Amino acid sequence: MKKTIKKTMSMAVAMMMVVGVFVSVTFAFAANENVSSRYDEVNGKIRGTVNLSKVVKSDGREVVKKGKLCYEGTVEGRVEVRDLFEGAYDKYLTSFKGKKTLLGRAYENLVMFDKGGNFPTAKYTVRFPKNFKVNVNSIDVSANTRTISKITKTYNSADNSVTFVFNLGNWNDYREFFELYEKEKGTEGHEIKIKMPYSVEIKDQSVKNLGRISAEGKCELFYKKLFFEKKIVDISAEKIDFDITR
Segment 123-138, tens digit of pLDDT:
999 999 999 999 999 9
pLDDT band (50, 70, 90) for residue 101: confident
The pLDDT assigned to 5 comes to 41
Mean of the per-residue pLDDT values of the chain: 84
Of the two residues 100 and 6, the one the predictor is more confident about is 100
Distance (Å, whole) CA 207 – CA 1: 59
Residue 102 confidence (pLDDT) above 70: yes
pLDDT band (50, 70, 90) for residue 28: low
196-226 residue pLDDT tens: 999 999 999 999 999 999 999 999 988 777 7
Intra-chain end-to-end CA distance of the chain, in Å: 56
| Residue 111: count of CB within 10 angstroms of its CB | 19
The pLDDT assigned to 143 comes to 98
Collapsed DSSP state (helix, strand, coil) of residue 176? helix
DSSP state of 192: E
The pLDDT assigned to 13 comes to 35
Residue 14 confidence (pLDDT) above 70: no
Distance (Å, whole) CA 26 – CA 44: 10
Question: Residue 230, class by beta-carbon neighbours within 10 Å (0-12 exposed, 13-18 middle, 19+ buried)?
Answer: middle
Q: What is the mean pLDDT of residues 76-101?
A: 83
The pLDDT assigned to 4 comes to 43
Residue 59 confidence (pLDDT) above 70: yes
Strand partners, 38: 29, 49
Between the alpha carbon of residue 109 and those of residues 45, 171, 243, the distances in Å are: 18, 12, 44
Residue 62 confidence (pLDDT) above 70: yes
Structural Rg of the chain based on CA atoms: 20
Between the alpha carbon of residue 178 and those of residues 3, 119, 161, 173, 246, the distances in Å are: 17, 17, 32, 9, 44
Strands 148-156 and 191-201: unpaired
Report pTM. 0.82
Residues 105, 110, 114, 118: what is their CA dihedral angle, to the nearest 10 degrees? -100
Q: What is the mean pLDDT of residues 57-78?
A: 96
Of the two residues 19 and 90, the one the predictor is more confident about is 90
Of the two residues 13 and 172, the one the predictor is more confident about is 172
Q: Which helix (H) or strand (E) holds 209?
A: strand 209-225
